[in-house]
Chain A
Amino acid sequence: MKFGILVNEGPFTHQASDSAYHFTKAALEKGHEIVRVFFYHDGVNNANKLSEPQSDDRNLVGMWSALAEEHGVELIVCVAAALRRGIKDELLAAGFTISGLGQLVEAGIIGDRLITFGD
């Protein structure tokens, strides 16, 4: 089955980014396809390569990058939400790409399910 994932919250607010990550990972392990992970609103903070959590804290930015590298998952960051928060191309961690809201709509069309994580 094809899943689209929408992340509307940053890694240090509640738990939405963690939930989205663990859902995505579990879906991949079960052999499902992740059409795209779309980062919107404060979710764009998941893409900031300057993020440097303490060593005993999970590093979601790095975890997403690793997922993109291992499974080829497409990580798309909303351009308007990103620029508003100072997230520019040169700040993107590996595996993330800045694009438009059309990518979210397309994920909804292509995917069998669109799962929203946020606040």
Chain B
Amino acid sequence: MSILHTVNKSPFERNTLMDCLARAKDGAAVLLIEDGVYGALAGTQASDAIAKRGAIKFYALGPDLDARGLAEKPLIDGITLIDYSGFVDLAEAHNPVQSWL
């Protein structure tokens, strides 16, 4: 079973998204939550790092994008929006769940 990584800080505030991507293996899943959802936006300095990792499945928590007024912003291609129920499903489907804090 592959790992679910969660990243909860903006890539413009901390290096946790880059640290996560440097260690995540192909086939893993990365879920962006809280301020981590800023990493899902298209056209930023951090976008390429996600866009070029095609073998990793990326998710972002919709309620957290919405809470930041980002719900209508264009996201990086291939990012799937989920809610808390989807978060639970991801945690069930992957093992372990690694939180990058």
How many interface residues does A have (CB within 8 Å)?
Answer: 23
Q: Which A residues touch B95, using CB under 8 A? A: 112-113
- Chain A 1-20, CB-CB to B under 8 Å as 1, else 0, gives 10100001000001110010
Chain-B contact segment, one of A26-34, A69-77, A83-91, A93-101? A26-34
Contact of B99 among A15, A22, A26, A115 (CB under 8 A): A115
| Cβ contact within 8 Å between B99 and A3 | no
Contact of A16 among B8, B63, B85 (CB under 8 A): B8
CB distance from B34 to the nearest CB of A (A): 4
A114 CB within 8 Å of chain B: yes
| Cβ contact within 8 Å between A113 and B101 | no
| Cβ contact within 8 Å between B85 and A116 | no
Bound together, the chains give a CA A114 to CA B6 distance in angstroms of 13
CB-CB nearest 6 A-B residue pairs:
A26-B84, A116-B99, A15-B34, A22-B84, A27-B88, A26-B88
B96 CB within 8 Å of chain A: yes
Q: Which A residues touch B63, using CB under 8 A? A: 22
Contact of B88 among A16, A23, A112, A119 (CB under 8 A): A23
CB distance from B84 to the nearest CB of A (A): 4
